[in-house]
Amino acid sequence: MGVQLTWRNGLDDGETAEVMGLLEETEKADGVAPVGEHVLLRLKAHRDVVHQIEPVQADVRSEHFILRDSGGALIGYAHLDTEHEAGAGQLVAELAVHPERRGKGAGARLVEALLERAELGTEPDADTGRLRIWSHGEHPGAVRLAERYGFHRPRELWRMGRELAEPELPELPEVQLPEGVAIRTFRPGEDEADVVRVNHRAFVWHPEQGDMTEQDVRTKEREDWFDPAGFFLAVDAAGELLGFHWTKVHPDGTGEVYVVGVDPQAQGGGLGKSLTVAGLRHLRDTGRSRVVLYVEADNVPAVKVYQRLGFAKLDSDVQFGR
């Protein structure tokens, strides 16, 4: 297979456009995006820097693997997140192969390049099994590659969903708040710091969500889907933030339980469920007929809460590692 693989710690404008096009073609073919939201946001941030649309800097925590055929056409791409590399921490990768170029070794070439990168960057005597590769939607091709290279499944993320107008599913309950607690909507320019503080406390255990920064929130506020009217904050009588439910609406009209976070000191009284219900009612009342969410497969209490609210498993995102 006459291919050329190059490594980049930054993409130029043309390469960014090519990669975005490849990711779009892959999503159309598979019905699921081949990379997570944070990868798309980093690519968009770079694009905006090139065009001087926003005063932000491209994220230097990304590395890019570009695979081209003998004619120079882009046939594969891998993104490597090096945010936690210091101290031989995990390297997390996501990749895509053009739908018309599969089955010819492109995926294997990208996986081998990622393995080489992970091993070269490891200190002597350190754990060489730090590479993790996501497969969104548990694509059969990714499963075959995982078996070929001896990967196991250290993490699984369920995508769950329910219809909001289906009479056979449980009706959404009323929002019942603890005494002294009220729900209001997010105020851009005022609430970012409090949301980040509660988010960190709620997700200190989570490998991605717990690292959210104020800049991350502001970046998402610039996205077309952002709507402060769908971002619910639970506050006590003094106005202190206790928890939040950030909803999202996808281009096809599907709603999402984007993030539900409750300060550990406010947990145990049903606040998380109340916030979830408030967001679901908002999505239903604004015309969303379907809603999805993502939850760690081994988070049994959360899965049970969502099942009682009428959610069922749709598919999985699997993280493979050695």
Binding-site residue ranges: 37, 95-97, 208, 248, 256, 260-262, 267-273, 294, 299-304
Is the CB of residue 271 less than 8 Å from the CB of residue 216?
no
| Residue numbers belonging to the annotated binding site for acetyl-CoA | 95-97, 260-262, 267-273, 299-304
Query: CA torsion, points 286, 280, 240, 176, in degrees to nearest 10?
Result: 120
CA atoms within 13 A on the CB side of 140: 3
Residue 282, classed as helix, strand or coil, is: helix
Query: CA torsion, points 268, 269, 274, 276, in degrees to nearest 10?
Result: 0
> Which positions ≥6 away from 287 have C-beta within 8 Å?
253
Query: Strand order in 241-249's β-sheet?
Result: 3-8, 62-69, 74-81, 91-97, 131-136, 312-321, 152-163, 290-296, 255-262, 241-249, 231-235, 182-185
